[in-house]
């Protein structure tokens, strides 16, 4: 019966008699928390408080529901202080409610203390608390803090984009970093319309010629397979592009257009930019995807001998994949087993497993399967 009431639309107030029946038959905290939630959804705040005080040992769920019932009022902050004295530590949902309450009440000092507590509890960057923090700083007219919080958030694309939209809705100007973060988020969410929207916004605000924003656009359009649009953006700011931007464009062509990859690599060097590990990874990926083993080996050696760059596990995986395709299984096995600093990872063993199975080498397949299991 309780679950049926909890699913009742919020506008429908439950029959007090039915609630009384449930209450008198409830002995554990789980059901009491659900009943508090029912009162809360029915806007019976007085009953929420009355029932809460009947719980012998309220937990974080109980306290959070009580605080939610008073969201946007000073009582929410008072109940939170009582919660700490209980003592019960808040979770990210508790703090999200409190950050929004501080924004509504303009209690900036209290919000700062909450932020410090969230850092201490390692929940400042979690989805609910992180998004609420961005909202809190934006509403409090501290745009720098909001931007800083936005830029430091882990790469949760949905949260990134929501935070960006909230900053814009509050009337704060964008920086190249917030726009770049929004572009990364839209690319990871596979939302082309969002990418175009951010592109248009950057154009209107004069950020489209910024190298950080430009690189984000090149990377974003490339992830959608819209290489021509990525190239159009790139060509518009090629004079200020750094090696990161060049790498973003080169990687867009690495899935099948070897000629463009080599052309762009040469153009980058001609402009005096020094290729890095990402540059070589894109070139090697292009040749590996085409099954061009000799060329893949050539660029691997060039990276090590000519540019004195230490290959990553990804470079070795690329080399192993190219050599394995032509049946050089023992060679690639030795490469994987003798990699410096034990760089071989699950991707390496998976690549070896795939090429060994393709060539019917049962012995290596069994060995690679075992190594792959050990990685998990």
Backbone φ/ψ region at 342: left (φ over 0), alpha (ψ -120 to 50), beta: left
Among 27-31, 98-102, 287-291, which stretch is predicted with the lowest mean pLDDT? 27-31
Pick the closest to residue 278 from 238, 242, 251 (CA basis). 251
Q: How far is CA 98 from CA 78, 127, 150, 342, in A?
A: 11, 15, 19, 47
The alpha carbon of 113 is separated from its chain's Cα centroid by a whole number of angstroms, namely 26
Sequence-distant (6+) residues with CB within 8 A of 174 are 164, 167, 168, 201, 202, 205, 207
Q: pTM of the predicted model, to two decimals?
A: 0.58
The proportion of the chain whose per-residue pLDDT surpasses 70, expressed as a percent, equals: 79
What integer pLDDT is reported at residue 143 of this predicted model?
67
- pLDDT tens digit sequence for 126-185: 767 877 887 788 778 786 777 677 667 665 555 556 666 666 666 666 777 678 777 877
- b/e per residue, 181-218, with b = 16+ CB within 10 A? bbbbbbbbeebbebbbebbebbeeeebbebbbbbbbbb
Query: Rounded mean pLDDT of the chain?
Result: 82
Following CA atoms 263, 264, 269, 275 in sequence, which dihedral angle do they give, to the nearest 10 degrees?
-120
- pLDDT tens digit sequence for 216-260: 899 889 888 889 999 999 999 999 999 999 999 999 999 889 999
What integer pLDDT is reported at residue 13 of this predicted model?
46
Following CA atoms 222, 225, 231, 236 in sequence, which dihedral angle do they give, to the nearest 10 degrees?
-60
The proportion of the chain whose per-residue pLDDT surpasses 90, expressed as a percent, equals: 36
117/81 Cα distance (integer angstroms): 12
User: Quick check: 83 pLDDT over 80?
Assistant: yes
Q: Where are the domains of the chain?
A: 156-237
Cα torsion angle, 82, 84, 85, 86, sign: positive
Q: Residue 268 in contact with residue 246, Cβ under 8 Å? A: yes
Q: Residue 199 in contact with residue 230, Cβ under 8 Å? A: no
């Amino acid at each position: 019966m309780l679950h049926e009431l909890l699913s009742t639309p919020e506008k429908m107030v439950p029959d007090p008699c039915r609630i009384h029946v449930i209450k008198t038959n409830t002995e554990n905290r789980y059901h009491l928390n659900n009943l508090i939630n029912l009162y809360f959804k029915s806007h019976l705040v007085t009953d929420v408080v009355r029932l809460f005080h009947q719980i012998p040992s309220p937990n974080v769920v109980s306290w959070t529901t009580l605080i939610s019932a008073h969201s946007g009022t000073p009582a929410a902050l008072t109940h939170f202080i009582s919660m700490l004295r209980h003592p019960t530590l808040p979770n990210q949902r508790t703090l999200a409610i409190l950050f929004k309450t501080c924004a509504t009440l303009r209690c900036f000092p209290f919000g700062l203390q909450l932020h410090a507590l969230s850092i201490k509890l390692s929940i400042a960057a979690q989805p609910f608390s992180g998004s609420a923090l961005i909202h809190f700083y934006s509403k409090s007219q501290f745009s720098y803090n909001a931007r800083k919080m936005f830029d430091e958030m882990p790469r949760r694309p949905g949260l990134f984009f929501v935070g960006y939209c909230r900053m814009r809705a509050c009337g704060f100007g964008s920086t190249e970093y917030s726009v770049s973060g929004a572009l990364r988020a839209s690319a990871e969410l596979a939302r082309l319309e969002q990418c175009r929207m951010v592109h248009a916004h950057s154009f209107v605000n004069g950020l489209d010629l910024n190298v950080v924003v430009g690189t984000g656009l090149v990377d974003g359009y490339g992830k959608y397979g819209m290489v021509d649009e990525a190239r159009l953006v790139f060509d518009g700011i090629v004079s200020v592009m750094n090696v990161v931007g060049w790498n973003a464009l080169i990687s867009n062509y690495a899935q099948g257009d070897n000629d463009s990859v080599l052309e762009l690599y040469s153009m980058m060097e001609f402009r005096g930019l020094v290729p890095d590990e990402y540059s070589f990874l894109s070139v090697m990926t292009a040749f590996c995807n085409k099954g061009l083993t000799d060329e893949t080996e050539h660029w691997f050696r060039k990276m090590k001998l000519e540019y004195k760059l230490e290959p990553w596990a990804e470079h070795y995986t690329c080399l192993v994949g190219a050599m394995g395709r032509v049946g050089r299984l023992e060679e690639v096995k030795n490469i994987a087993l003798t990699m410096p600093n034990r760089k071989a990872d699950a991707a390496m063993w998976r690549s070896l497993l795939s090429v060994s199975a393709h060539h019917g080498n049962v012995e290596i397949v069994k060995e690679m399967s075992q190594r792959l299991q050990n990685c998990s």
